[in-house]
């Protein structure tokens, strides 16, 4: 199994940490992982993205041009990465702020209204975990227990008390994702 | 079972230095390698092992602090990125001229000048062919993974002390910024003063005792004949290194008709390119030099009889390809493919370059 993922959105949405939790979860189940962020000038101006690869085999390139799954959280990223999803691949997006929804017919497209749900939960910080939960519903490549372990490893000591909130958000994310036909 | 962690290449350099019993780190911040000093400052190794971590006032100061520490037989380290490494060149040639061990990490970004903060491999010439003045060589290690960022700190110090020669870890922004799983080494204690005297007392400035002559650390020799004799000594040392310390990795080479030669992050992209090319029926392999000096010249020569062509892939306008051509001596076609200025080549571009520049050239 190899899953090549790009997560792209605004800085501050938790894009990089979502990727880190996913990568840590892969380690928890003995997989090879890589996490390659955009660290260039663009991250200083707003957009952020990270390429995460989980594989049973040695990972070749940590930088890719095509992805099995793209998780897209703003319009700029939609413009940039919709075309980069492999034929037959998966695109997950939050419609919040999206003016031009994806149009491809050769991939499966899912919507997760995570920003809206985070607002309902009165917990803006839960946003990325809602999205992560949604992704795991569609692509159960890591076991939930390993995600929890990965989350625990990724959170600094001072944030460990946020574990229950994050777990709840992951579970809720799994419930609110739906396919766009 | 061994514990794996998820860490950035830069963070791993810092952690590996602490665990390998490093005595001192001296640096000055620059993207994309600032996490090395940031991690050290967070880890506070001076409380744990006594290791000194110091942000110098400039790169020039930092490399001269390394010069001083190395002269005392200590395990010392500095790191920077391309423009900062240029500033260190005077110190590096003095260290090489004084035959001192140290490890220098270059997390390369695009140039020339201030260039870009994005990854590049355009400092090959500087690392391998000189950079500073005079007839000297660095031992140059090229990590291609976060694990190798860990492993090469220890290997680097081992080689530096074995040959009393500066070692450069030539990384780049991809390997420095990427996180992968890594198995860290066990903690080794720092050398005690007594151990340093025992191992390196013949040359290090450990404090003169009545039973020995002064140990003088210098790169100055005003007598031309003595300087020439010293240059011969250095040349002989570099020859010994060339004979004994070549390291490389071969991937999918058994049946290869074509060969990529690439180091560091480019070698990772080539591995993906191999998957894509082999799916099209192109038999291509990869030779990944792990040491850039010494270069795996003989290894390349031993592979030529089975090859129809070689593509050197590097994130530069064509630097390492010159060493490939020197090894090949015109016996098979050699071409260069690179993206640069901070642009990273895609695996598809690499396959396309192989097809257009090598396979279809007949």
Q: What is the CATH number of the domain that holds B175?
A: 3.40.50.970
Q: Is the ipTM of this complex over 0.95?
A: no
- Cα gap B145→B74, rounded to integer Å: 27
In a domain, B27, yes or no: yes
Chain B residues within an 8 Å CB radius of A60: 268-269, 271-272, 274-275, 347
Residue B353 CA, distance from chain mean position: 27
Contact B272 A64 (CB under 8 A): yes
What's the confidence (pLDDT) of residue A11? 84
What's the confidence (pLDDT) of residue A41? 61
Residue of A nearest to B265 (CA): A61
Q: Phi and psi (nearest 5°) for B141? A: -105, 135
In a domain, B59, yes or no: yes
In terms of Cβ atoms closer than 10 Å to its own Cβ (0-12, 13-18, 19+), residue A96 is middle
Which one of A41, A62, A151, A152 makes the best mutation probe of the B interface by having the most chain B beta carbons within 10 Å? A62
Chain B residues within an 8 Å CB radius of A34: 178-180
Residue of B nearest to A21 (CA): B6
Closest residue to B117, CB basis, from A23, A40, A62? A40
Task: Specify whether B125 is located in the same domain as B26.
Answer: yes
Range of the domain at B283: 248-361
In a domain, B299, yes or no: yes
| pLDDT tens digits along B115-128 | 999 999 999 999 99
Which one of B108, B117, B181 makes the best mutation probe of the A interface by having the most chain A beta carbons within 10 Å? B181
Q: Is B232 on the interface with A (CB under 8 A)?
A: no
Q: Is A153 on the interface with B (CB under 8 A)?
A: yes
pLDDT band, very low/low/confident/very high, at A30 (cuts 50, 70, 90): very high
Closest residue to B178, CB basis, from A24, A35, A41? A35
Task: Specify whether B342 is located in the same domain as B258.
Answer: yes
Contact B346 A65 (CB under 8 A): yes
What's the confidence (pLDDT) of residue A43? 56
Task: Specify whether B24 is located in the same domain as B168.
Answer: yes
What's the confidence (pLDDT) of residue B166? 98
A2-180 CATH fold = Pyruvate-ferredoxin Oxidoreductase; domain 3 (3.40.920)
Bridge partners, residue B248, by sequence? B289
Task: Specify whether B17 is located in the same domain as B155.
Answer: yes
Give the CA radius of gyration of chain B. 21
Residue B100 has pLDDT above 60, yes or no: yes
> Cα distance from A15 to chain B (closest Cα, Å)?
15
Contact A59 B180 (CB under 8 A): yes
Q: Is B359 on the interface with A (CB under 8 A)?
A: no
| pLDDT tens digits along A43-77 | 555 789 999 999 999 999 999 999 999 999 999 99
| pLDDT tens digits along A73-127 | 999 999 999 999 999 999 999 999 999 999 999 999 999 999 999 999 999 889 9
Closest residue to B179, CB basis, from A35, A40, A153? A35
Task: Specify whether B41 is located in the same domain as B177.
Answer: yes
In a domain, B218, yes or no: no
Across B43-61, average pLDDT: 98
Task: Specify whether B148 is located in the same domain as B290.
Answer: no
> Cα distance from A67 to chain B (closest Cα, Å)?
13
Contact B271 A60 (CB under 8 A): yes
Neighbours of B240 (CB within 10 A): 13
Domain end call among B128, B156, B182: B182
Domain end call among B182, B201, B221: B182
Task: Specify whether B17 is located in the same domain as B159.
Answer: yes
Q: Is A56 on the interface with B (CB under 8 A)?
A: no
Contact A41 B117 (CB under 8 A): yes
- Among the listed residues B67, B62, B97, the one whose alpha carbon sits nearest the alpha carbon of residue B79: B62
Residue of A nearest to B179 (CA): A35
Residue B96 has pLDDT above 60, yes or no: yes
Q: Phi and psi (nearest 5°) for B174? A: -70, -55
Task: Specify whether B155 is located in the same domain as B266.
Answer: no
Closest residue to A37, CB basis, from B177, B342, B344? B177
In a domain, B215, yes or no: no
Residues with Cβ < 8 Å from A22, sequence gap 6 or more? A5, A52, A54, A132, A142, A147, A150
Chain A residues within an 8 Å CB radius of B265: 62-63
> pLDDT exceeding 90 applies to what percent of chain B?
98
In a domain, B13, yes or no: yes
Contact A64 B268 (CB under 8 A): no
Residue B39 has pLDDT above 70, yes or no: yes
By DSSP bridging, strand B334-337 and strand B248-251 are: unpaired
Chain B residues within an 8 Å CB radius of A20: 6, 179
Task: Specify whether B164 is located in the same domain as B276.
Answer: no
Q: How many residues does chain B have?
A: 362
What's the confidence (pLDDT) of residue A40? 65
| pLDDT tens digits along B137-187 | 999 999 999 999 999 999 999 999 999 999 999 999 999 999 999 999 999
Q: Is B118 on the interface with A (CB under 8 A)?
A: yes
B107, two tokens: 């997390």
- Among the listed residues B37, B64, B269, the one whose alpha carbon sits nearest the alpha carbon of residue B176: B37
Q: Name the domain count of chain B.
A: 2
What's the confidence (pLDDT) of residue A154? 84
- Comparison of pLDDT for B217 and A12, the residue scoring more: B217
> Cα distance from B89 to chain A (closest Cα, Å)?
26
Which one of B6, B31, B118, B149 makes the best mutation probe of the A interface by having the most chain A beta carbons within 10 Å? B6
- Among the listed residues B260, B279, B278, the one whose alpha carbon sits nearest the alpha carbon of residue B269: B260
Domain end call among B137, B167, B182: B182
Three-state SS for chain B is CCCCEEEEHHHHHHHHHHHCCCCEEEECCCCCCCHHHHHHHHHCHHHHCCCEEEECCCHHHHHHHHHHHHHCCCCEEEEECHHHHHHCHHHHHHHHHCCCCEEEEEEEECCCCCCCCCECCCCHHHHHHCCCCCCCCCEEECCCCHHHHHHHHHHHHHHHHHHCCEEEEEEEHHHHHCEEEECCCCCCCCCCHHHHHHHHCCCCCCCCCCCCCCCCCCCCCCCHHHHHHHHHHHHHHHHHHHHHCCCEEEECCCCCCEEEECCHHHHHHHHHHHHHHHHCCCCEEEEEECEEECCCHHHHHHHHHHCCEEEEECCCCCCHHHHHHHHHCCCCCEEEECCCCCCCCCHHHHHHHHHHHHHHHC
What's the confidence (pLDDT) of residue A44? 58
What's the confidence (pLDDT) of residue B306? 96
Contact B180 A33 (CB under 8 A): yes
By DSSP bridging, strand B166-172 and strand B248-251 are: unpaired
What's the confidence (pLDDT) of residue B362? 62
């Amino acid at each position: 199994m190899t899953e090549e993922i790009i997560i792209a959105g605004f800085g501050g949405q938790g894009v990089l940490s979502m990727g880190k939790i996913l990568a840590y979860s892969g380690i928890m189940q003995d997989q090879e992982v890589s996490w390659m962020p955009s660290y260039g000038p663009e991250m200083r101006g707003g957009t952020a993205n990270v390429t995460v690869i989980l594989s049973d085999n040695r990972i070749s390139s940590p930088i890719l041009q095509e992805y099995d799954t793209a998780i897209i959280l703003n319009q700029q990223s939609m413009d940039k990465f919709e075309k980069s999803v492999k034929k037959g691949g998966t695109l997950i997006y939050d419609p919040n702020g999206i003016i031009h929804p994806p149009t491809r017919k050769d991939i499966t497209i899912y919507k997760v209204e995570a920003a809206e749900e985070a607002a309902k939960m009165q917990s803006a910080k839960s946003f990325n975990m809602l999205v992560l939960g949604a992704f795991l519903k569609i692509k159960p490549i890591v076991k939930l227990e390993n995600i929890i372990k990965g989350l625990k490893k990724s959170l600094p000591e001072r944030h460990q008390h946020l574990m229950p909130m994050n777990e709840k958000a992951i579970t809720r994310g799994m419930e609110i994702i739906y396919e766009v036909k | 079972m061994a514990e794996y962690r998820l860490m950035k290449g830069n963070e791993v350099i810092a952690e590996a230095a602490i665990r390998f019993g490093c005595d001192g780190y001296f640096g000055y911040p620059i993207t994309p390698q600032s996490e090395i000093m940031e991690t050290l400052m967070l880890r506070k190794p001076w409380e744990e092992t006594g290791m000194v971590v110091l942000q110098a006032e400039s790169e020039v100061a930092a490399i001269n602090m390394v010069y001083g520490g190395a002269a005392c037989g200590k395990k010392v380290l500095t790191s920077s990125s391309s423009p900062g490494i240029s500033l260190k060149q005077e110190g590096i040639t003095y260290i090489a001229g004084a035959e001192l061990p140290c490890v220098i990490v270059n997390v390369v970004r695009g140039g020339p000048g201030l260039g870009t903060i994005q990854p590049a491999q355009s400092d090959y010439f500087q690392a391998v062919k000189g950079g500073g003045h005079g007839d000297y060589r660095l031992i140059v290690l090229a990590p291609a993974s976060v694990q190798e960022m860990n492993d090469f700190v220890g290997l680097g110090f081992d080689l530096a002390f074995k040959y009393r020669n500066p070692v450069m870890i030539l990384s780049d922004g991809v390997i420095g910024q990427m996180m992968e799983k890594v198995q860290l080494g066990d903690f080794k204690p720092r050398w005690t003063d007594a151990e340093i005297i025992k191992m390196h007392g013949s040359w290090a400035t450990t404090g003169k005792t009545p039973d020995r002559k002064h140990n003088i650390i210098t790169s100055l020799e005003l007598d031309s004949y003595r300087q020439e004799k010293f240059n011969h000594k250095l040349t002989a040392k570099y020859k010994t290194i060339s004979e004994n310390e070549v390291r490389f990795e071969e991937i999918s080479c058994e049946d290869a008709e074509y060969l990529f030669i690439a180091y560091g992050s480019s070698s990772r992209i080539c591995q993906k390119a191999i998957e894509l090319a082999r799916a099209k029926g192109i038999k291509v392999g990869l030779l990944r030099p792990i040491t850039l000096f010494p270069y795996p010249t003989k290894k390349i020569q031993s592979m030529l009889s089975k090859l129809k062509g070689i593509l050197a892939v590097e994130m530069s306008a064509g630097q390492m390809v010159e060493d490939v051509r020197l090894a090949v001596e015109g016996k098979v076609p050699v071409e260069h493919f690179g993206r640069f200025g901070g642009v990273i080549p895609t695996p598809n571009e690499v396959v396309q370059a192989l097809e257009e520049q090598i396979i279809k050239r007949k």
